[in-house]
Amino acid sequence: MKTRAVRLYGKKDLRLEEFELPPITSDEILAKVVTDSICLSSYKAASQGTDHKRIPSDVAENPVIIGHEFAGEIVEVGANWRHKFKPGQKYSIQPAIYYKDGPVGVMSAPGYSYKYIGGDATYVIIPKDVLVQDCLLVYEGPGYYPASLAEPLSCVIGAMNASYHTTPGSYVHDMGIVQGGKMAILAGAGPMGLTMINYVISREDRRPSLCVVTDIDQARLDRAAEIFPSEQARSKGIELVYVNTAGTADPAKTLRGLTGGSGYNDVFVLAPIAPVIEQGDALLAFDGCLNFFAGPSDPNLVARINFYNVHYEYTHVVATSGGTNDDMVEALDIMSKGLDPAGLVTHIGGLNAVAETTLSLPHIPGGKKLIYTHIDMPLTPLADFVKLGKAYPLFAKLATIVNANKGIWCVEAEKYLINHFGLSD
């Protein structure tokens, strides 16, 4: 079986290549990839090369396939896994797998660490590492792109679950955000911030009474408010407020004012920038929890924390990277009940667009860049469909479908795209 894939050979060295996959063993599965959502983490991995913790040291000789937010269809199942999986099933993968290497644990991941599995490929071999840890998850919902976006949603779910608060008079920790509390999502109008807003509004168990989302880019805030209007959140008992902190003399004072001065129970920092971290610390209420959600690329990143408040106000800091299997299962389940992550998608493209897109990702505006791996297509903003439709019938039809869906990508658009290129959906 031949595959086309984007492979990493070293720092900023991504190559689209075709090569032969070996026959699968009894402990492996051959799978078709349909969609991959390009993540900023892939940009970091491609930029850092072997300096990245998940990239093997011999990547120049044994390149890895990049991409870890992917979904597709099972093609062939090794003998040892036929009791659990079968050809034709749609799947998603929890990429942050964990394995033992001597006395220590190592974080390995499809899209970072393996020769034959990663999202930016047409076909992959799912290894035993993924299977024995139950990280291959069957997806039974509509389309493919939601399963690709289950991974970033699982990261958000994990972050919400990892926040904690103390029980007065004891050291028992109450895990999760405060029910009916006050929440701030700082630098929160990007793709992961939108994912967080979507989950906060959609979940049924724990919800804040106030959710404040900040950014310094008004266009991003406007788009977030269009996708997730305050009225929608208010119908769920949440006061959702969008705040542009650019040019604000004292952002922390302004944001605390929205709480009546009490501060926030749960603060999520989505930018690895010291002033934003310090702002988050300054917003914490008594027993407030700051989740440093943004993965930094600078190993020397430092920020000031008020340790007086740590001692007397019981404030605390946690950090999360990725989600667990349970978080992925919850992500897939909540999507099957109506959460549609399509509002995150602002661009679509083909496998030929992956290398340039990945290396340029911080400089490309908008939200998620969704790749259809069996298609060759330049990375194309959804907003350009109407203009492109004047010359290309494909985009004219896609524009009609997307515009009828409030400008948001959808399963109908995906089906049309796949069928247009003669691929099975």
Domain 164-319 CATH (choose: 3.10.20.70, 3.40.50.720, 3.90.1010.10, 3.30.70.260)? 3.40.50.720
Whole-number pLDDT of residue 274: 96
Residue 105 confidence (pLDDT) above 50: no
Whole-number pLDDT of residue 324: 83
More confident residue, 363 or 338: 363
Residue 262 confidence (pLDDT) above 90: yes
pLDDT in tens, 219-259: 999 989 988 999 999 999 999 999 999 989 999 999 999 99
Whole-number pLDDT of residue 98: 64
d(C-alpha 108, C-alpha 309), whole Å? 36
pLDDT in tens, 298-344: 889 999 999 999 999 999 999 987 788 889 889 888 887 878 888 88
d(C-alpha 68, C-alpha 93), whole Å? 8
% residues pLDDT > 90 (the chain): 76
Whole-number pLDDT of residue 425: 53
Across 137-146, 275-284, 321-330, which has the greatest mean pLDDT? 275-284
* Residue ranges covered by each domain of the chain: 2-148+340-351, 164-319
Whole-number pLDDT of residue 339: 85
User: How high is the mean pLDDT of the chain?
Assistant: 93
% residues pLDDT > 70 (the chain): 97
pLDDT in tens, 2-59: 999 999 999 999 999 999 999 999 999 999 999 999 998 899 999 999 998 889 999 9
Residue 107 confidence (pLDDT) above 80: no
Whole-number pLDDT of residue 87: 98
Architecture of the domain spanning 2-148+340-351: Alpha-Beta Complex (3.90)
Q: What predicted TM-score, i.e. pTM, was given to this entire model?
A: 0.81
**Residue 124: closest CA among 157, 76, 60, 53:** 76
More confident residue, 324 or 116: 116
Whole-number pLDDT of residue 104: 38
Q: Which residues pair with 3 in a beta bridge?
A: 19
